[in-house]
Chain A
Amino acid sequence: MTRLILAAAAVLASGMVPAQAQQADGRVLAMSCLNCHGPGGKSGGDIPSIAGKSEDFLKNALVDFREGKRTGNSATVMGRLAKGYSDDEIAAVAKYIATLK
């Protein structure tokens, strides 16, 4: 309980509202993807580019990774990462990344 109150105090002290009240944002969710898939989603290496892919393609690929339907040497880290996102989050990520041309 004390811990909860302390956490609440810390939240108030830093002028922030609790995270639960916040909305998922496709861009914020997708920004970390670019550290591997490259600036603007263009890789330039063995990791595939994600720029220029359709929203449906991206959504299906992420769901397949998450459900373990993509396996083998092209599914090294993506299965582990995709498991970190809900359906809504995957939809938001796909929608944002589809805007990268």
Chain B
Amino acid sequence: MTRISRREFAAGAAGAAALAGFAPAALAQGRARPRVVVVGGGFGGATTAKYLRMLDKNIQVTLVEPSQTFYTCPFSNLVLGGLRTLPSIAHNYTAMRNKYGVNVLHTTATKVDAAKKTVALANGQTLQYDKLVLSPGIDFKWGAIAGYDEPASQLLPHAWKAGPQTALLRRQLEAMRDGGTVVIAAPADPFRCPPGPYERVSMIAHYLKTKKPKSKILILDAKDAFSKQGLFMGGWKALYGDMIEWVPLSKDGKVVKVDAKTRQLECELGAKHKGDVVNVIPPQKAGAIAMAAGVAQGDWCPINPATFESTMRKDIHVIGDASIAAPMPKSGFSASSQGKVTAAAIVAMLQGKEPAAASFANTCYSLVGPDYGISVAAVYKVQDGKMIAVPNSGGVSPAQADPAFRKAEARYGESWYKANTAEVWG
């Protein structure tokens, strides 16, 4: 294996013509360097691209990501609460290019030909791959809630992909009168970031308590239980009194219809609600390229958890929110952990070796108040071809803890964000 300089690598990976020129036979004869295309520059995709290059410099890695700037969903709730600014959760691909020699293309992948092993891009290029990694995150099921389509999200933001939507929801909260009601519609499982809606409630409650204390928050939920529920509810009571009301599925909490202009919501059994600010977190599915590549079964993508290779198409790996990896949650940390295992497996597979036993972790902090953090953590492995949480491990923060413990977890959460994003984009 020859070590090739960054400049040579960049030259080799510069254009589609150059990339498409390699015939698969050349690889078998050891003349060409393996090509891996990664689609999606979020926690999963960016980690995979970086780790492929860290583990084997011989691999040519192309990362396809439309945005120049990536805003993380983790900590976007802190922007809503006024504890963070949007630029403070922005990340870019400079290190990916300059430090790790990843060929980053800011365009959209539109089509995959699994037989020819090519990916078509919106900029007209076609990339040839030996291994393809899809980390497309989520798309919304527009219309699953009647009246909630993309234009409606400009009036009732989802803010479930961070960036302009986060800024829009923040502006609406800032413009709301004291004494107003914020309605948050939370989806049924599975969805991106299980504790996310409830951390959002917490952060909005913090903002309201500070600036508009007569206001209320109403959560309309399409399920009867949620992540870290006891911890959130205990924290809400301690910090925000009776500001927050949670309506579960069994109490007619499932929103089935919205009127974006009047900000009215209608639930399954007929209950009607109106909000001054309405945040609809709609049902979700795997990102569009997963559907186009034929690796989705229903809304999500089945994978072999040992390698995250699709069970539907050979040499296509699907990681992160788009994959069916339960009991791992759809979280940025999970996606990054999966990206690392996938990178190691791909390196082994391309060298004709057996991948090492897969091992994953997930650790997610949520902020209930500025000095009140809670966490969930777990370790996962593969047993009999299935993803399992290692028995007797993992769990959430203790139900009873002193303020110093909650404060420590708030500080660890900050440290976690810094380390995690540096590990992915730095």
Contacts and interface: CB of A to CB of B under 8 A. Distances in A.
Interface of A: 7-8, 10-11, 13-25, 27-29, 31-39, 43-47, 73-74, 76-77, 80-85, 89
A34 B423 contact: yes
22 contacts: A7-B384, A11-B385, A15-B314, A16-B309, A19-B306, A19-B385, A20-B384, A21-B354, A28-B357, A32-B340, A35-B420, A36-B419, A38-B418, A39-B422, A46-B412, A47-B419, A73-B405, A76-B409, A80-B377, A80-B394, A81-B361, A85-B379
Contact of B419 (A13, A20, A37, A85): A37
State the 10 A-B residue pairs at the shortest beta-carbon distance, nearest first. A84-B379, A45-B415, A25-B356, A84-B393, A32-B361, A83-B393, A22-B357, A38-B419, A84-B390, A73-B408
A21 B306 CA distance: 11
Q: Which DSSP category, helix, strand, loop or mixed, fits chain B's interface? A: mixed
B299 interface: no
Contacts of A10: 304, 311, 385
A13 B312 CA distance: 9
Contact of B382 (A19, A43, A46): A19
Nearest to A18: B385
Contacts of A34: 419, 423
Contacts of B166: none
B378 A84 contact: yes
B386 interface: yes
Given A25-B356, A73-B408, A47 B415 contact: yes
A28 B412 contact: no
Q: Which has the most chain A C-beta neighbours within 10 Å: B336, B386, B416, B426?
A: B416
Contacts of A13: 311
Interface residues of B, number: 56
Contact of A28 (B344, B375, B408): B344
A69 to B, nearest CB: 16
B423 A16 contact: no
A10 B386 CA distance: 11
Contact of B426 (A39, A43, A73): A39
A10 B341 CA distance: 19
A47 B413 CA distance: 9
Interface in B87-139: none
Contacts of B397: 76
A23 B356 contact: yes
Contacts of A11: 304, 385
A21 B408 CA distance: 41
Nearest to B397: A76
Contacts of B309: 14-16
B358 A45 contact: no
Nearest to A74: B408
Contacts of B333: 35
A45 B356 CA distance: 31
Contacts of A20: 384
A17 B357 CA distance: 11
A35 B423 contact: yes
A25 B357 contact: yes
B416 A22 contact: no
B1 interface: no
